[in-house]
Structure 1
Amino acid sequence: MEKKFLQLNDLTSYNSGFSFANKVWDIVIKWDYFARDTIGKQFVNAADSISANIAEGFGRYHKKDKIKFYYYSLGSVKECTDWLNKAKIRNLVSEQLFAELNELMEKLPRDIHQLIKFTDDHLKI
């Protein structure tokens, strides 16, 4: 019987973060130049950072190193909350789009915390 190892694409937190970042990209790319250049770039960078930090942590060897990057990912979720709130107040996203993205962002910390707990419980070093 072949032993199956956990892969990056098996992680719910990674897939959710990756999907969220692509949704943010699809929204921001349609904004005018000023909105893209000010809020948009930073919103996209923060959203991209969610899955990127999970991927980097997943690629690390030591448990503490992995978990450190997963916590960076949580910080990026909070940063996205700020950019989304600014986008809403500045009428760059509709109420419906705000609610949809906000719902995705509310789920991400739970997924990331589950990854942190799993990593802490199952790795020795």
Structure 2
Amino acid sequence: MSSKYFQELRVYRLAEQLADEIWKIVEQWNFFAKDTIGKQIVRSADSIGANIALCVGRGSYQDNRRFVKIARGSLNETQHWLRRAYTRKLLTDKQIDKLKLIIDDLAPQLNAYLKSIGNVPEA
């Protein structure tokens, strides 16, 4: 398996896209918003891709599945922070619509990736 394998996964590229979009948005916020909700949302969004990268190349399918489940949890946390940011008027409807398109693609991709790991027999 090449070292760039995880970077070629569609699910990983979607996670990167979501994290990068969130970063661009949070960069524009005032200090208080960045320091509180901004840090949390960036960390949770970055954690999605980081856990996908961690899962690829792990020794066992159980480890792989565990990290994909953590990535799903990070996606849920990101959605929580997006809701908080929107409620606090830090996000526009246009920004939410753009992020929602990525999330609506990413969530089923994570589930499909998790399922595909479960269908591979261990050696």
TM superposition score category, shorter chain reference: over 0.9
- Quick one: which amino acid aligns to residue 108 of structure 1? L
SS state at 1:96 partner: helix
Residue of structure 2 equivalent to 1:48? 46
Aligned mate of 1:99, from 93, 97, 100? 97
Cα offsets for 1:30-74 (capped at 9, x unmatched) = 100000001000000000000000000112110000000000000
TM-score (norm 1): 0.91
> Are 1:8 and 2:2 an aligned pair?
no
SS state at 2:90 partner: coil
TM-score (norm 2): 0.92
Of all paired residues, the percent bearing the same amino acid is: 32
Displacement, 1:114? 1.2
Residue of structure 1 equivalent to 2:81? 83
Where does structure 2 lack aligned partners over 5 or more consecutive residues?
none
Give me the whole-angstrom Cα distance separating, in 2, the residues matched to 1:28 and 1:115: 29
SS state at 1:122 partner: coil
Give me the whole-angstrom Cα distance separating, in 2, the residues matched to 1:50 and 1:66: 13
- RMSD between aligned alpha carbons? 1.5
- Quick one: which amino acid aligns to residue 11 of structure 1? L
Residue of structure 2 equivalent to 1:73? 71
The size of the alignment, in residue pairs, is: 122
Displacement, 1:96? 1.0
Where does structure 1 lack aligned partners over 5 or more consecutive residues?
none
Displacement, 1:118? 1.4
SS state at 1:30 partner: coil
Give me the whole-angstrom Cα distance separating, in 1, the residues matched to 2:121 and 2:24: 37
